[in-house]
Every structure is written in structure tokens, then in C-alpha cells.
Chain A
């Protein structure tokens, strides 16, 4: 070490949980359990290589080993978030490495099934693409060199939180589409933010209508109606909120608040802005959720 040891430790070692658990054997030797664990891990390694990498090359088996280490570690971290590494070793001995791997793998499946983006296309629901995304996510999170620091569990938590938020947006948009006053909208492509923007903008007119899809002609009628009747925006939004089920409220209220502050369409309706300009602004919010035809 020499001079190096004079420096403060800036890097905290965070090896994969599986490595840390196995190191506990040094203090708590148990030959039979160690052999059994080695057998199980080897078996998992072989199955991962067969399914995800390449079980006919040394490189494929090496990659599968890293995925095995990461996925078992992810499962252990999830099952025992606040316990020490000896507890993790106990779980491996009592329940088996396959059990820990299964926990981790189910987490990956759950994460990859969540929407990554509020723009949902037909590829996002295609099973072939879904399987590929699952594999990519498995590699993204679980690739772990057993002797190097690994932050897969932390990255998993961040991504999971982000995707849960996106999922809430997509679900609200889905509800709005199904309850569109003019009849349910079915379209493989979904611009969830666009749907929500339309519903919030049109809600200011009042009357409790749900607008999830519309066109230029309807928008022109809406603008004329708002300019003539000068409705209370807040009352209209309250009617919309009352219609939407409570589990979607956090997203809806957050978006209403945002559009209340910044939505240029709502701000400019009150003035003398040209219809053409207003519609162009609406397109910025609603995008592909506007019907192309003038009807």
C-alpha cells in the first residue's frame, strides 16, 4: 500500500451480495453446504448459458457466470434488504441458490414488463420484442463480475421507480381512452401524455365530458365555446377529477397543476390568438392523438 494508504478511502467496496455471502464460509466453514451451493450455482450457470448466452463457448459460459452472480445477488438483496451477509448465506443454504436466482429473475421480468416510455407502440406489446427487451434488461442489471463492485440492485431500484411512474401515466391515459365520451379509442399506438393533455385542456369547458381523441373541427368549436362562455377552468377540472377513479388522481392532479401554470393553449384561448396558431400549439401537447382529418 505505502503512500496509498495515507489517502482517505474514497471508494467503498460493494461486491455482489453472492460474493459477500460466499466469503462468510471463511468464518463459518461448512463443507457439505459449500459443495451443495457450488453444485447449484454451476447448474444455474449452465441453464443461463443455454438460454441466454452460449453454452458451447468458454466466452458464453463466462458471461452466463456473471449473469448468474448478478441475478442471485439481486434476489438476495431483495429478499434481505436490511440483513447482513451471513443471513444471505443462510438463505442460500436453507432455500437454495435457485430460489434466490428465481427471485432476482422475476424482478427482472417485472421491470422489463413495465413501460419505459409514455409513448407506447405496437412493438412494445409484441411478445418477440418483449422477450428481447427482457434479455437486454437481464444483461443490463445482472452482469456482475464476482470480484468487482456492482450496483445492479441500486440501478434496479431507480429504474423500477421511474417505470412505475411511467406506468401510472400510461394507465391514466388508458382509462381516459376507454371512457372517451365519443366512444372508446382503440389504437395500438399510444401517446399517453398527449391523451392526458387533451382531456385536461378540453375539461375546462365544463360538463364532465372526457376527450381522449379529437380533431381540428371539434377544437375550433371548443375554442369558440370557451371564448363565448368564459367557463371556470377549476370547476371543469374538478368535474374531470370526480369522474376519474381515485388511483389515477396523483398523476392527473399533478398534470392539471402543471397545465394550470404553463399550458400555452389555455393561456392564449382567452386572448385574440389566431385559431391556426392555437391549433399548432395544441399539436405540441396532443401530438399523434389528434385526428388527421378535418372532421
Chain B
């Protein structure tokens, strides 16, 4: 939070409320600010509060409930906040029910990306979100829920480029997000694919890959599981603690 930022009092208030767990009060503060100063005030505050606070706040509003932030969060602030989204996942749940976490993650991504019909904003959001390592992992987690359909979309992206229709053999909710991502950022789409199918180096190779439905068959292509990807994302959560020491680690020189 920079000293020169506008609305410092509101930014501080929202941060404190979110960290204290009062999401509804924070949301109220957002609503009041929007009424009083307009939507840009909320955008300004979202630009200023730390990304882990944004993540905490937005994670509380996935699925059924709507938050003003879902509609107004700036793409960069949203992308930054995604780094922290895995921080609060319980280990037990990653282990026992990874699909449920992946689905709530899908609800969050879908909710933000498709909150408005503004295609330009959607492209900006998806491009920013997929531009980071953790962003690529997040999309790979969503794709891991429907790997077969994703391979079909990958084939279509290669053959038809931006004119893809998204016709797949089954009806999966993941497909529209995948197509939106492929249209928003070619790079982000590729990175998410390679995160899910780590053996591939070029997306054209994926177009030819056959997905085997038989769960007993030896898989012909290496695919990371949802659980594995959730753990990967958990490992990518950055530390927010600022080291006060000026000492630099000597690394493996400790063994010298």
C-alpha cells in the first residue's frame, strides 16, 4: 500500500476487515464507496490493497454470492491475488476431495471472467491471469477436470485458429473457459496446456494426441492429476513476510 495512494483510509479499512474475517463488512464498505464516489473508487482500492487480501476477500464470494469486486477487480490485481488463492486450502481436502476444490476454483475463475459480457475486459482478465506461473497452474487445474475435452479443443485451436467453435464430444463447463483463454492469450493457453501435459513442448503435438477413455489402460500421454496440480499451486504461494535481514544466503555453499 503506497503512501500516495488515493483513498488510503478506505483501503486500510477494507484490509483490516478482510484480515479480521468480516467479509460482509468489507463488502459493505465497498458498496458505500461505490455509492458515494462511483465504481472507480472500488477499482482504486482494489489496486491498492495487498493481493493476499484481495484473494481472501474474493475467495469468500465464489459461486452463489456476488461481490462488487467480481465485477470491478482490475485484471492485474486479480492476477496477483490468484497467487494466494491456494493458501487457505486444507491439506485434508486436497488429499480427499481435490475435485471439490478444483470446482470451487472453477467457479471463481468463471465467475470473474464471465461476470460481464464485456469481451475486452474478459480477454484482459484471462490474459493477465494466465501470464504467471501460478496462473498457468490454475488453468491447468481447471483443465484437469475435463482432459479429454481439452485435448479436443487443443486440436481445434491448431486447425481453426481463432475461428474455433468449441464442438466437443461431451458438454463440459470447462470448455467455454478454455476457448475464452485460447482466444484471449495464445501464450497463456499454451502454458496451461503444458502444465497439464508436461511431456509436450509444442501445442501442435497435442492436436494429434489421442485421449484414452479406458481408466484401466496404460495412459499413452503423461497427464498431471488434479491433486498433483493443486499441490503444485500450493507450493507456488509466495511468502508475504518481508525478511528484515540484509544477510544473503550462501546457498549450498553451506556444504563447502
Contact = CB atoms under 8 A, between A and B. Distances in A.
A120 B42 CA distance: 77
A36 B243 contact: yes
Interface in B208-256: 241, 243-245, 247, 249-256
B114 to A, nearest CB: 38
A101 B244 contact: no
Contact of A44 (B241, B247, B254, B256): B254
Interface in A205-257: none
B254 A102 contact: yes
Contacts of B255: 47, 51, 105
A32 interface: yes
Interface in A17-53: 32, 35-36, 39-40, 43-44, 47, 51
A35 B249 contact: no
Contacts of B252: 47, 51
A98 interface: yes
Interface string A89-128: 0000000101001100100000000000000000000000
Contact of B249 (A32, A43, A51, A105): A43
A47 to B, nearest CB: 6
Contacts of B247: 36, 96
Contacts of A39: 243, 245
Contact of A105 (B241, B245, B254): B254
Nearest to A97: B254
Interface string B25-52: 0000000000000000000000000000
B250 to A, nearest CB: 5
A84 to B, nearest CB: 23
Contact of A101 (B241, B245, B254): B254
A36 B244 contact: yes
Interface size range on A against B? 10 to 19
Nearest to A105: B255
Contacts of A98: 249-250, 254
Contact of B250 (A32, A36, A102): A102
A102 B253 contact: yes
A102 B253 CA distance: 8
B254 A35 contact: no
Contact of A47 (B241, B244, B245, B254): B254
A36 B245 contact: yes
B249 to A, nearest CB: 6
Given A40-B249, A43-B249, A98-B249, A32 B244 contact: yes
B81 to A, nearest CB: 24
B247 to A, nearest CB: 5
A151 B241 CA distance: 36
Nearest to A31: B244
A47 B243 contact: no
Interface in B115-154: none
Contacts of A101: 254
Contacts of B244: 32, 35-36
Nearest to A40: B249
Contacts of B251: 47
A32 B241 CA distance: 10
A21 B249 CA distance: 21
Contacts of A47: 251-252, 254-255
A51 B249 CA distance: 17
Nearest to B247: A96
A44 B247 CA distance: 14
Contact of A102 (B241, B243, B245, B256): B256
Contacts of A102: 250, 253-254, 256
The 6 closest A-B pairs by CB, nearest first: A36-B245, A32-B244, A102-B254, A98-B254, A101-B254, A96-B247
Interface of B: 241, 243-245, 247, 249-256
Interface of A: 32, 35-36, 39-40, 43-44, 47, 51, 96, 98, 101-102, 105
29 contacts: A32-B244, A32-B245, A35-B241, A35-B243, A35-B244, A36-B243, A36-B244, A36-B245, A36-B247, A39-B245, A40-B249, A43-B249, A44-B254, A47-B251, A47-B252, A47-B254, A47-B255, A51-B255, A96-B245, A96-B247, A98-B249, A98-B254, A101-B254, A102-B250, A102-B253, A102-B254, A102-B256, A105-B254, A105-B255
Given A47-B252, A102-B250, 8 more contacts: A35-B244, A36-B243, A36-B247, A40-B249, A96-B245, A98-B249, A101-B254, A105-B255
